[in-house]
Amino acid sequence: MTAQHAERPASPRTQPVGHTIRDIRDALDGEDRQAFLAEVLEADPEVVVDVMSRWWFEAMLNQVPGREQRLRDALSRTAPVELPDLILGEGG
């Protein structure tokens, strides 16, 4: 019997974003895409990787379902989240 490497499927909720300018650009929309392109094209060579890393995180986070609504709720404090008893301890 031989052991074969089994790849874990990507989450059905998000798709991986590559670490290239093209992949990051394609994963961003509208104003974010324009801002990324402007920033990466203007960046000095020694900071391009930092710019790409920051925008890569943004591209990945943009794929999280319901992210915008959760951000709005958090900022307006309209959707409080209860902490589990494990964190608060018995009896609050």
Number of domains into which the chain is organized: 1
Assign 66 to helix, strand or coil.
coil
Task: Find where tokens 């990507």 sit.
Answer: 10
Report residue 12 as tokens: 């059905």
pLDDT confidence of residue 63: 81
Question: Quick one: DSSP state of residue 44?
Answer: -
Q: What is the pLDDT of residues 21-79, one digit of tens each?
A: 999 999 999 999 999 999 999 999 999 999 999 999 999 888 877 777 877 877 887 76
Task: Give 46 or 92, the one with higher predicted confidence.
Answer: 46
Decide: pTM greater than 0.75.
no
Within-domain flag for 74: no
Within-domain flag for 83: no
Residue 37 phi, psi (nearest 5): -60, -45
Question: What domain range includes position 40?
Answer: 15-64
Task: Give 34 or 1, the one with higher predicted confidence.
Answer: 34
pLDDT confidence of residue 77: 75
Within-domain flag for 91: no
Within-domain flag for 35: yes
